[in-house]
Amino acid sequence: MTYDLTQRPQISTTEAHVYSRHTAPSSTRLEAVLAPLLKAPCLTYASGLAALHAAYVYLNPGRVSIGDGYHGSHGVLDIQTKLCGTRILPLQCPASDLQPGDVIHLETPLNPTGEAYNIAEYADKAHSRGAILLVDSTFAPPGLQDPFEWGADIVMHSGTKYLGGHSDMLCGVLATNNKQWLTGLREDRIFLGSVMGSMESWLGVRSLRTLDLRVIRQSENASKLVQWLDFCKHTESEDEEAELVKPVVERIQHASLQHEDMPWLKQQMPNGFGPVFAIWAKEETMARRLPSLLTLFHHATSLGGVESLIEWRSMSDRTVDSRVLRVSVGVEDWEDLKADLKRGFKELLRNPKA
């Protein structure tokens, strides 16, 4: 998928930017460039959580159906519950538990595992009850997934991650084809004050010029690493690489391994299955030590940049299994990344008590 950024967005030159909390040249341009990529008009915010908070302030649902995923999203809903009495329902709740105006909050692919959910299935469930489907598509930016094609009503991105892509900006995005919602969200943003700064907006426009190049490469790298690890984990042949992987890796999770879901998943994500996957180590000590033994993978809690990152997830989210490592794959040569993991596995096995 190629994006032609030589086609200048139609931004009015006659309407003055009077007050930066309302509009500003850089953020307005970023929204204009993002809109055709997201397949809907959009608004930018100071961060992904600021965007999500704005969505819930405006929609003000009585109930939100949500599953596992980014702990920050649950933190936003904790505030919403405290202020408005919002009830939290499980993602797999019966459709009959939903009422008009309620929200199904679907994060796909999921943080930190990279597993994918069927957007169309949840859209049908929501709309059968007059509810709203909000999709957090942070882990599948434009080029990998278009939630609107499968029935999403509003789409959220933490643009800090793949839209920004260089680990140097904060950004949140809400996109919707509902004109009334867009107007209300824009008016709310003035008083919430959660606008992007001009420098971050300029960096966002810069980043979109390489979005397709970055994301497709990152997704391809991740799938190659996942397939290699999965082969090593399950092969019965005597293989030197497998002898490094099997004693360390309990399991791997990524959308590319959802073989039974491929009939719908290949349609929903036709160009790749996302740059993030998870490794379950055999022991917590292995998960804790591995990141410090790697050279190309940096131990950090963010993701989405051109550099590969690995995180012992318990450092930032105590709700996940302490053996989980979240891997965010960058644009490096995948064979170099594979060699880096092999060196780390070898050192773990050579010196298990360090």
Residue 16's pLDDT is what? 75
Nearest to 11 by CA among 247, 269, 26, 3: 26
Structure tokens, 271: 């160009």
Contact 282, 250 (CB under 8 A): yes
Distance of CA 272 to the CA centre of its chain: 14
Give strand pairing partners of 65. 89, 104
Separation between Cα atoms, residue 290 and residue 288, nearest integer Å = 6
Residue 14's pLDDT is what? 44
Low-confidence residues of the chain, pLDDT below 70?
1-15, 354
Which amino acid makes up residue 161? K
Separation between Cα atoms, residue 139 and residue 42, nearest integer Å = 18
Structure tokens, 133: 């489907």
Burial of 150 (0-12, 13-18, 19+ CB in 10 A): buried
Residue 17's pLDDT is what? 84
Residues contacting residue 56 through CB under 8 Å, at least 6 positions apart: 64, 76, 77, 80, 86, 103
Separation between Cα atoms, residue 321 and residue 28, nearest integer Å = 41
Cis peptide leading into residue 100 (ω within 30°): no
Residue 4's pLDDT is what? 54
Residue 317's pLDDT is what? 86
Structure tokens, 106: 């679907």
